[in-house]
Amino acid sequence: MPELPEVETVVRLIRGPVEGRRIVGATVHWRRTVGARDFEARVSGARIARVWRRAKYIVIDLERRSKPAGAIVGHLRMTGRLHVEARGVDPGPYKKVELALDDGRVLHFVDVRKFGRFEYVEDAERELADIGPEPLSDAFTPDWFHAALRAKRRVLKPLLLDQTFLAGLGNIYVDESLHRSGLHPLAKSDRVKPDAAARLRDEIRAVLSEAIEREGSSFDVFYRTPEGNPGSYQDQFCVYGRDGEPCRACGTIIERLVVGQRGTHVCPRCQPRRTRR
């Protein structure tokens, strides 16, 4: 659901309203969302220095007296939302945390379910140290990718979903990237040839970039940008959620299977189980 493009969209739209603001008060409506009992004390009075993204995490760097003072690390999981509203706006029954800002506005963390997290940490870099490279960064080179795939002996799709291997991909964008590269989700990672790895790397970057341009994907009521708008990348889906419909590339009916307990969508013609020749 919220994967890299959706989280990136949230970060970009939250950044303007909150960077530079001071948190003048914190209200926790659901304790498990923030974990620690002292969340309110840790964040109250701090200034928001920077908002950034790592994988699917939203990081809000804090400072006190111009010195780093920990961070808030948020994760939307499936249904979390972050948005800034004028004081007095009721975010509805699923509100979990709210941060009052010094301009009178309020940053809301809302979640229909209770999987999302919005926690204070001393050292965000350390907390996120085990995550793999950012697919849109220069570190994600074809050579690195091919070597990394070969070093693992895993089924391709679950490996791509593994955040310690590569950051930010979720069910939707993995299915789309695999389709565009002509690779089957059940392929073994160590059997992916250098040119196929390079192709997959390019398609991952293209899919993510295009999805960011379109402010992510919305196909149910859950994901909305902080401004309340749906994304539009769902209109570009080639396979995700299209089982039973014809492949846009070849007309073959898209199939749904389960890989690593995840609903998985493939075109059996574009993504042959065994590599041709």
Partner DNA sequence: ATCCTATCCTGGCTGC
Partner DNA sequence: TGCAGCCAGGATAGGA
Query: In the complex, which residues of this chain contact DNA (CB under 7 A)?
Result: 1-3, 32, 55-56, 75, 77-79, 112-115, 152-155, 158-159, 161, 163, 170-172, 220-221, 260-263
Query: Given the complex with DNA, which of 83 and 265 has the nearer CB atom?
Result: 265
CB of 17 or CB of 215, closer to DNA: 215
Q: What angle do CA 193, 150, 143 make, to 5 degrees?
A: 70
Q: How far is the CB of 177 from DNA (least distance, A)?
A: 13
Query: Cβ–Cβ contacts within 10 Å for residue 61, how many?
Result: 18
Containing H/E element for 84? strand 80-86
125 is catalytic: no
Q: Which of 56, 81, 95, 180 is catalytic?
A: 56
193 is catalytic: no
Shortest Å, Cβ 125 to DNA: 15
Residue 65 CB, nearest distance to DNA (Å)? 31
Residue number, 6 or 203, with CB nearest to DNA: 6
Specify whether the CB–CB gap between 156 and 122 falls below 8 A: no
Of residues 110, 23, 106, the one with CA closest to residue 72: 23
- Between 69 and 81, CB nearer to DNA: 81
CA distance 80 to 101: 20
Nearest-angstrom CA–CA distance, 27 and 8: 25
Least distance between DNA and beta carbon 54 (Å): 10
Closest by Cα among 174, 168, 205 to 56? 168
Spatial separation of the C-alpha atoms in residues 136 and 53, rounded to whole Å: 12
What angle separates helix 142-151 from helix 194-213, to the nearest 10 degrees?
110
Nearer to DNA, 15 or 262 (CB): 262
The least distance separating DNA from the CB of residue 251, rounded to whole angstroms, comes to: 24
Of the listed 2, 17, 158, 226, which one is catalytic? 2
* Structure-token pair, residue 183: 């690779």
Single out the catalytic residue among 22, 154, 205, 262. 262
φ/ψ of residue 105, rounded to 5: -90, 175
Q: Which amino acid is at 172?
A: I
Active site residues: 2-3, 56, 262
